[in-house]
Amino acid sequence: MTHQPEQRNPSPEDGPVKQSRPGLIRARLQRGLTQEQAAGQIGVSLSTWARWERGTQNVRPFYRKVLAEQWDAKSGEVDAWFQVTACSSLTPCADVAIDDAGLAEPMFQASSVETARQLWRLEMDTSRRHLLAALPFMPSLLSEWLVSWAYDAPTTTGSGGVRTEHKQTVRQVGAADVARVREARQAFSQMDHQFGAGLVRPAVTDFLDSQLSAMLAGTYRNDTRGELLSAASSMTQLAGWMAYDLGHHGQAQRHYGQALNLAKAADDQLIAAYVLAALAQQACDLGHGRWALRLATAARDAGRQAGAPPRVEALLMLRQARAEAVTAQTADQRGAHARRQVGLLLSQAERHFSQGPNDRDPFWSASFGQAELAAEAGYCWQCVGEHRKAADLAEQALAGFGTSYARSTQFNRVHAAHAYLDLGDLDHALALATPAIPAAKELTSARAVAHIRDFADRLTPHTRVTDVQDFNDMLHDSLAS
């Protein structure tokens, strides 16, 4: 049961008193619906549904019955959804904050800083953070976000930060603070590569709520503002990436959305391109090929508008190549056209990458090296059926990743194993995949486990082979423990 705040009568000093139906909001989010979609299912207008969620309009028995039928719920459960909860600034409606923070509705409507800070506070609320982790990935949000990114005016906070909820000493923020955010982001990212997201993400969300939130609530000059918002966008993107690594795709999507929101407020097309590319990769993994292509194209467009340095342009091309390859694989259209398209993008990425480092390279691109270039290219070739190229590039990546990139090493062992299995070399495939089993156990990464389980599933036609049986026993014993 969701923890309820202590009940008391709000006073005028608490700020404006609101009310909501958090149970109804939560039920809608769990079904992956926007307010507009829910209203369409029940047969009411969007404004009526919004008033229901705000608790400002009663709901007739007829619509309660329709809702029970549409959402396969008992009448008592529906009645509980329509209970109204009062809240104020000191007794917040956390479930309303999920919507107000831009998690289920269009972004760019409220202050970009305030919506991000609400999201970070929810992450730290032990009684409610499970709501974020349980959120579904919602493709319907992506269209709203892309339109908002392209056409809406950015929100502003002014040069003096945002208002704080309580009286406290206002912090003055300068270039040294922005540098500290960037350094922290680099340190967290490196730990993520080495140990997986599960170990590091709590520290990232704590930093967002306790450190970065205070900086954004402080005072800063106009020339510092953009740099601070860009750094905040990058750190929020990292929180989304880590949720993605843990398999919490709805939670990851919402952090990516807020990172895009902050990038727009900062007028930073380059970090926006990076966020859009991360969303494209997530859409690829979840099988939303059309959205992956749209997001990857938007990322390339943002990169061009920002005059992206060569290595960043190479990274964005790799994401577009992945979207093309995964879409072709999913549609079972891995023909000559798909291979040409993927090959063209990969050769362009290689050409840009070969230009070397640039003094305009952003701090968040530091981990993108030759090994990752080979790994991404190998994955793309595997998707379009070029298994020999995929195997060679995966092994090249394995030779380039050091101990600091344990998760990437594990992924590429499995990718190489897939390629050799498709080439008919079962022995080599098992030799590569076997060391990935203990690595998956040691890494706090849901993706690492999913990768090795997916390979095990592909061994089903060979279950009578003794080495395959030994592999499956080892995998079962390792992950079960």
DSSP per residue, 51-103: HHHHT-S---HHHHHHHHHHTT--HHHHHHHT--EEE-SSS--HHHHHHHTTS
Task: Per-residue pLDDT tens, the chain, 481 aa: give them.
Answer: 334 333 344 444 434 445 678 788 878 877 767 787 888 888 888 888 888 888 888 888 889 899 998 898 888 888 888 888 765 433 334 444 444 344 444 344 446 788 888 889 888 888 777 778 888 888 878 888 888 888 877 765 544 444 444 445 567 899 999 999 999 999 999 999 999 999 999 999 999 999 999 999 888 888 899 999 999 999 999 999 999 999 999 999 999 999 999 999 999 999 999 999 999 999 999 999 999 999 999 999 999 999 999 999 999 999 999 999 999 988 777 678 889 999 999 999 999 999 999 999 999 998 899 999 999 999 999 999 999 999 999 999 999 998 899 999 999 999 999 999 999 999 999 999 999 999 999 999 999 999 999 999 999 999 999 999 999 999 999 988 6
CA-based angle 6:9:13, to the nearest 5? 105
Tokens of 70: 């549409």
d(CA 122, CA 44): 30
Backbone angles phi, psi at 391, to 5 degrees: -65, -45
For residue 439, being part of any structural domain is answered with yes
For residue 329, being part of any structural domain is answered with no
Backbone angles phi, psi at 57, to 5 degrees: -140, 135
Identify the CATH number of the domain in which residue 65 sits: 1.10.260.40
For residue 33, being part of any structural domain is answered with yes
**Separation in Å, CA 51 to CA 5, 54, 263, 315:** 23, 5, 31, 44
**Domain boundary, last residue among 44, 76, 100:** 100
DSSP 20: E
How many structural domains does the chain have?
A: 2
3 state SS of 328: helix
For residue 219, being part of any structural domain is answered with no
Which domain range does residue 442 map to?
385-481
For residue 444, being part of any structural domain is answered with yes
Q: Which of 437, 430, 436, 434 is nearest to 401 (CA)?
A: 436
For residue 432, being part of any structural domain is answered with yes
**Domain boundary, last residue among 46, 74, 100:** 100
For residue 149, being part of any structural domain is answered with no
**Domain boundary, last residue among 34, 69, 100:** 100
